[in-house]
Structure 1
Amino acid sequence: MEELTLRDYFSIVHRRKWLVIFTTIIFILAGVVINSFNSEQIYKTYTSLIVNETKNNNDLDNNQKYLDQKFMNTYSEIVKSKLVINEVKKNLNLDSSIKKLSESINVDVVSDTDVIKIEVVGNDPEQIARIANEISKVSMKHIKKMSDSKDITVIDKAQVPDLKTNLESDIKDIIIHGIIGLLVGSSIVFLLEHLDKRIKSPKDLEKKFNIPVIGVIQKVEENFMMDKNLNSFAAENYRNLMINIDAIQSRNGIKSVLITSFNPNEGNSLISTNIASTIARTKGKVLLIDGNLKKPKIHTYFKLKNDYGLSNVLNENIDYREVIYEDKSEKNLHVLTSGLPIFNSAELLSSRNMKDLLEEISKEYDTIIIDSPSVGGVTDSVALSTNVDGTILVCSAGETDIDDIKKGKELLDKVNANILGIILDKVIIKNDNYYKYYYNNYSYYNDRKEEKELV
């Protein structure tokens, strides 16, 4: 079980806050309905007695005062005694049992006074008033028999109550139902969190797979192009990612980088395009290669023809320079499309021809970005990973399953692929959510060996 911080707990609840709110409201409404079916109305009344010392008590010492307080407690017990209650029951000809009658009576000695307060509750306001007054009458008789030195009188006669006293109880019940609803809602949220195996934050990736998250990309439209949206927040994401990739390259002497994903439609083709465009703008000459020989996309972003490309270079020994396109908006960015689809793509991508091609291209270009199909879809990415310097994986926030990442990583590990890091894509970044916090605080490549932060 991974240790969760207070921020983690808050983030988990915040992601499903509407479920917690809905559950709490349901429980509150249930409490209201339950109370509404309780037709029995509860009333309350009381009477007060005061016990006075008949003799002059100016000279009473502390011990005498202690004894007086002890007597007051004794008198209150007499009021609640079966002797008194039974006599009240007979005098008023009540049908209630002694036990039930006793439960409706509460006797209290008012602190630091000689006053005894007798409180009676019930659903018949006139009857409880009679009971309270009869209790005070019978109690005075028995207390006077017990001590001749005491004078006891009624200071407040019980009145027939005209207000229902169960409102306070109803409010308490509703509050309790609300608290229960809040706890149940939170429990459901944490249960769903435990059962939900989708990646939700960069921390999930780093904890579970010990792979650095080198980029957090905001969710954008499918045809988002970095060079046309330079002032957007997503563009800033890509610039930050470029810094991290540049740090990886400079430390490890890497030129060719494979961009792949764990599942289809996770946006790795768009990310490959924008990474190449961003690097080409400031970091030298870049070649973007479409290594998806079955379902290519790169040519669509640049509105290029795809009659000739990588497949032709590998199959027909065509000079790659003849089929490379130069981007019109960025002179340092060149594009090698996939060419016509072929069936033996995995064999070509892992072939000696591919390895030789990358070695030759590396002499001319500072960075080579290669887009490829998902690891889980076909074997092309795994095959191609054996011929590149490093591989960057793309996964989608709230979509990619942890098990898919595990399986994809295992496939790459089997061929000793050099996994450089993970990009978390399709992130919804708001001012108050976890990703905003992550982007502001962890937008750098953290080399785990050197613990060096890039800004």
Structure 2
Amino acid sequence: MHKVDILKNTQVINPATEEYYNKIRTNIQFSCVDVKTILVTSHTQSEGKSTVSLNIALSFAKLGLNVLYLDADVRKSALTSRFYFEDGALGLTNYLSGLSSLDDILYQSELPNLTIIPAGNYSPNPTELLESHKFQQLLASFKEQYDYIIIDAAPIGVVVDALILAKQSDASLLVAGSQMVKKNEVLRTVEQLNNTQSQFLGVILNKVNVKKNRSYGNYGNY
């Protein structure tokens, strides 16, 4: 298994927001029964879903739970392009295309109980890969190995991938960037997620301007 350092990357990991994510984790634990796979998506790009999903995974892992972070935003991965992995790093698409083994795409973080699978190389048929029986089998096997699987999916308002993944997930979360998305777009996205019959957990309002609303506390840009 490969090694990857994530806790040192201040572009994503912000200690000032840790309490915020711990509250989200606690709400998930107390509101859900038999939930293992949690999909995190947004309506459009740059609302912060990758940052939110990774920090939720970290929050679970810091409890000592066995967690898998699955980067399924295979078209435009923030995890790969901006943070941790070099161009060409093997990942989900490589495995689903039959070009890599499972061991080739697993990355161990500094936390011994947090495993990461990056998106992988460009694929001409990402939708077909995510709909494939091979992906369904992979997810089923992961459910037997991990306490929680956090799935970072592409924005729903851009491509259909997140809806395909939501149908295979136990629950879903929607990240909404403050001043970035309209109310009717959020409502439409929530309706789409509910129609997949996965348990919809709620909306996370992200990138709130705390200078205008001090009641949010000292949470930086969140």
Q: Same fold judged by TM-score > 0.5?
A: yes
Q: Which residue of 300, 308, 333 corresponds with 2:90?
A: 308
Q: What are the superposed Cα offsets for residues 158-207 of structure 1, whole Å, 9 maximum, x if unpaired?
A: xxxxxxxxxxxxxxxxxxxxxxxxxxxxxxxxxxxxxxxxxxxxxxxxxx
- How many pairs align? 208
Equivalent position amino acid for 2:58 in 1? S
Q: 1:267 deviation in Å?
A: 0.4
The 1:431–1:403 alpha-carbon spacing in structure 2 relative to 1, beyond 3 Å, is closer
Report what 1:379 is aligned to: 160
8 A Cα contact 1:311 1:340, kept in partner: yes
Distance, in Å, in 2 between the alignment partners of 1:301 and 1:236 is 24
TM-score between the two structures when normalised by the length of structure 1: 0.43
Cα 1:302–1:245 shift into 2, 3 Å: farther
Q: Answer 1 or 2: higher relative contact order, Cα 8 Å, separation at least 6.
A: 2
Q: 1:356 aligns with which of 120, 137, 144?
A: 137
Alignment-derived partner of residue 106 in structure 2:
324
Q: Does 2:13 correspond to 1:225?
A: yes
Deviation at residue 413 of structure 1 after TM alignment: 3.3
Q: 1:256 aligns with which of 37, 42, 46?
A: 37
How far the C-alpha of 1:416 sits from its partner, in A, is 2.6
Structure 1 residue 407: Cα displacement: 2.3
1:136-151 paired onto structure 2 within 5 Å: none
User: Would you say the 8 A contact 2:174–2:190 is kept in 1?
Assistant: no
Match of 1:247 in 2: 30
Matched residues, percent identical? 29
Find the residue that maps to 1:287 and give its secondary structure. strand
Of 276, 279, 304, the match for 2:60: 279
Deviations 1:211-243 (A, max 9, x none): xxxxxxxxxxx92314xx2xx2x1211111121
RMSD over aligned Cα atoms: 2.2
Please give the secondary structure, in 1, of the residue aligned with 2:70: strand
- Choose from 340, 353, 366 the match for 2:147: 366
| 1:316 partner amino acid | G
Tell me the distance in 1 between the aligned counterparts of 2:213 and 2:38.
34
Offset from partner CA, 1:91-131 (integer Å, 9 cap, x none): xxxxxxxxxxxxxxxxxxxxxxxxxxxxxxxxxxxxxxxxx
Which stretches in structure 1 are left out of the alignment for 5+ residues? 1-221, 440-455
More helix by share: 1
Q: Residues 11 and 83 of structure 2 are in contact (CA less than 8 Å); yes or no, is this contact kept in structure 1? A: no
- Select 1:290's aligned residue among 71, 91, 110: 71
Q: Which residue of 2 aligns with 1:415?
A: 196
- Does the residue aligned with 1:374 lie in a helix, a strand or coil? coil
Structure 2 unaligned segments of length 5 or more: list them.
1-9
* Greater gyration radius: 1
> For the Cα contact (< 8 Å) 1:290–1:371, is it kept in 2?
yes
